[in-house]
Amino acid sequence: MELNITYIVVLIIIGSFAGVINILAGGGSNLTLPTLMIMGMPPEVANASNRVGIFIQSLVGMRGFNKHGMLDTTDLPHILIPTLIGGVLGGLLASFAPPAILKPLLLGVMLSMALLILIRPTVIAPEPGTPFERLRDTPRAWVGLGLAGLYGGFVQAGAGFVLLAALAGTLRYDLIRANALKLVCTLAFTIVALAIFIARDQVDWLPALVLTVGYIIGAQLGVKIAIRVRPETLKWFLFIMTLVACVAALVF
């Protein structure tokens, strides 16, 4: 895909918005993937190229949360195991199959999230002070994290919602810490998926790197907002972005 000044500006702006959305909730790729495809990139190349920015954004966001003491590493090794296994399988599927086959699943996950946040918000957004549960004592979280890795390895859009359901809804982390851990998990399945895409020469590097600039800006801003925002505000932002992501998935 050839870039001009207009495309560069658009990619940086869209990447910045997506970066903030991904840090605070999820679904930022519902902005970036359609943008890349509208600019003429094939779906499988857009899916692969988008992962470069996601990779860097995850690193930047993790560093920011860790700096503020919000990255809880107590159960991290156990959390990463099912996420990585799912990511390998999802990356292999994405490399050989069209991402469109997971669209109904994407919509189902996001609509379920929206309903849970509206009807029973404490399921996804535990009250402040709720003790988290160890993964070894919560086997159902292994399933959720494995599915999140599988889905995230296949197509990035909406993976954050699946991760939040497992981390906040099942393991009972508050939304700020769940978002921090979400970035670690995202980094894990993105590494394996991106390695597969690079090996199959599916990354268009120039637009991918331009988009990455936007992701970095958005990630830095997103962490600052997440640390300062009230939990109630963060919950409603998550709810609104879930609905927006549903609409984006329906349209594109």
Q: How many CA atoms does the CB half-sphere of 210 hold within 13 Å?
A: 20
Task: Give the Cα separation of 165 and 141 in Å (integer).
Answer: 9
Local confidence pLDDT in tens for the 252 residues of the chain? 677 899 999 999 999 988 998 888 777 887 888 888 888 888 888 888 999 999 999 999 999 999 988 888 887 888 888 888 888 888 787 677 665 665 565 556 656 666 766 676 665 555 555 555 565 566 777 887 888 888 777 766 667 777 887 787 777 787 788 888 889 988 888 888 899 889 989 999 999 999 999 999 999 999 999 888 776 676 677 677 667 766 765 665
Q: Do residues 52 and 250 make contact, with C-beta atoms less than 8 angstroms apart? A: no
Task: Give the Cα separation of 143 and 251 in Å (integer).
Answer: 30
Task: Give the Cα separation of 212 and 214 in Å (integer).
Answer: 5
| Number of CB atoms found within 10 A of residue 196's CB | 21
The residue among 94, 83, 38 whose CA lies nearest residue 58 is 83
